[in-house]
Structure 1
Amino acid sequence: MIKGLYETHLFVENIERSIEFYGNVLELKQCHYEEERRAAFFWIGKDKQFMLGLWERPKEEIDIRHFAFECDPEWVLKESVDFLKSRDLKCRNFLNDGTDRPMVFAWMPAIAIYFDDPDGHSLEFIGILDGKGKPENGIISYERWLELEKNEK
């Protein structure tokens, strides 16, 4: 039966700009390009594990989408913000505290940070945390998550 999500596709306004972003900025491995169809494909993770397809379209045909890249939770916590900032990308969370630090979706639980690609697609780095989900806590800081985990023990 279903084992996961193998691929996702986005419409982009400028294929070269998007190849630069996903290949050089986010460091995904480009695996195929079709000039005639103005399409590029990237492996996410190991080759042939997950794939992202980009298709050039006029701006009026682009619907803004969201998807998340699975990452190691420690990397999301300790390195993701610096990774994004070093590439001049603005990151955001839903903590409403004026910071750009990763947040925890307590219901999963997972740690995450958001950013946009050049076409405005909402992207996310997310890492699944150990522990039991606590949906009643909503979206919280990692520090608050650790407090809740400590109090449970």
Structure 2
Amino acid sequence: MIEGLYEAHLPVKDLDVSINFYKKIGLKLAWRDEETAFFWIEENKSWVGLWEGKEYKTPYHPSLRHIAFRVTYENMKHAMAWLQSLQIEVVPFGGRKTIEPFVRPQQGNASVYFQDPDGNSLELMCYVEVPDAYKQRTDKLSLEEWEKLLTR
């Protein structure tokens, strides 16, 4: 099921300073918003996420205790069954109430979340081909919703 590293995360104090640093060491900027930036480690395979925060208000932040493993889109469709067969509980991401895998069209990926025995956030993540018409969508869609959208 797991093919490699999809992403790792680091906290940074000043996103602009960090962006300049990671560009200087030769990494290519993949994606950015106001508080985060992602740089390719291996283009279209793995990246590092930088999360800006002067002071985190809680002891947990995704950039401190999170890693994502790369899987194929086909395996993502079976990820919940695979995790359940291993007696691993799937958990919702952020403010989401549902636990099934979901697609982020704007980022071109899909995810499902779970935790290790110490409460570290783990994720299975895959790349998703996104038609140009949907690349600006910022909502998150279940795999089922995504596949219905593509068949319209």
User: Under a length normalisation based on structure 1, what TM-score does the superposition of the two structures give?
Assistant: 0.50
1:117 shift after superposition: 0.7
1:86 matched to 2:85? The reply is yes
Cα distance change of structure 1 residues 80 and 138 upon mapping to structure 2, 3 Å threshold: same
- Alpha-carbon RMSD: 3.3
> For 1:85 and 1:137, how far apart are their aligned partners in 2?
29
> For 2:69 and 2:7, how far apart are their aligned partners in 1?
12
> For 1:7 and 1:93, how far apart are their aligned partners in 2?
18
> For 2:7 and 2:103, how far apart are their aligned partners in 1?
25
Corresponding residue for 2:67? 67
1:149 matched to 2:147? The reply is no
> For 1:72 and 1:111, how far apart are their aligned partners in 2?
10
Alignment check: 8 A CA contact 1:93 1:103 kept:
no
Query: What secondary structure sits across from 2:151 in the alignment?
Result: helix
Within 5 Å, give how 1:16-55 maps onto structure 2: none
Corresponding residue for 2:11? none
Query: What secondary structure sits across from 1:127 in the alignment?
Result: strand
State how many pairs are aligned. 94
Alignment check: 8 A CA contact 1:131 1:149 kept:
no
> For 2:6 and 2:105, how far apart are their aligned partners in 1?
26
Flag the structure with higher helix content: 1
Cα distance change of structure 1 residues 149 and 100 upon mapping to structure 2, 3 Å threshold: same
The one-letter code matched in structure 2 to 1:84 is: L
| Cα deviation 1:89-108 (Å, max 9, x = unaligned) | 111244845x4321111212
1:113 matched to 2:105? The reply is no
1:150 shift after superposition: 2.9
Alignment check: 8 A CA contact 2:88 2:114 kept:
yes
> For 1:93 and 1:102, how far apart are their aligned partners in 2?
9
- Segments of 5+ residues of structure 2 without an aligned counterpart are 9-45, 47-59
Please tell me whether Structure 1 or Structure 2 has the larger radius of gyration of its CA atoms.
1
Cα distance change of structure 1 residues 7 and 81 upon mapping to structure 2, 3 Å threshold: closer
**Identity of paired residues, percent?**
30
Query: What secondary structure sits across from 1:84 in the alignment?
Result: helix
Alignment check: 8 A CA contact 1:93 1:102 kept:
no
> For 1:145 and 1:65, how far apart are their aligned partners in 2?
29
